[in-house]
Amino acid sequence: MVHFLAAEAALPPADPELSTGDAGETPELVDDLPVAGTAHRLRVGLVVPKRHAKRSVTRNLVKRHCRVAIDRHLPQLAVGDWVLRLRAPIDRKVFTSASSSVLADGLRAEIEQVIGDAIRRTRAAARSAGPRPVAPAPA
């Protein structure tokens, strides 16, 4: 499953009255990829729950294949936040080894399909939204 939030969607400003006070700079928790020719960044998060892939080696394999697919499709991805999430469990009876070529081929094919579908949907949404009016700068 792929989730996407466009770069234009602004998050609400942080509440200055938080009990944590000024904690300073927070570490990056997602892959932060610069997009060539723009000042914008494409951020990618990967979620592979332990309940769906019991062994850490399998979870790491899924994440590695996701990163490779993202790198391959980077020029086509819209600027914003992307989250790839494993939705269904990986059956250990079918895929007995995390290094099995059958598992790797299946992951690659499914990830490519999901990312391709997400790219098509974001392009269609961008076309249907049309150009957005630009607000005048305050005087």
pLDDT for 84-132, tens place per residue?
888 888 888 788 787 788 888 888 888 889 888 888 988 888 788 765 5
- pLDDT (mean) for 27-52: 70
Name all domains of the chain by residue range, CATH numbers in brackets: 2-6+29-129 (3.30.230)
Closest CA to 70 of 119, 24, 121, 105: 119
Q: What is the pTM of this model?
A: 0.65
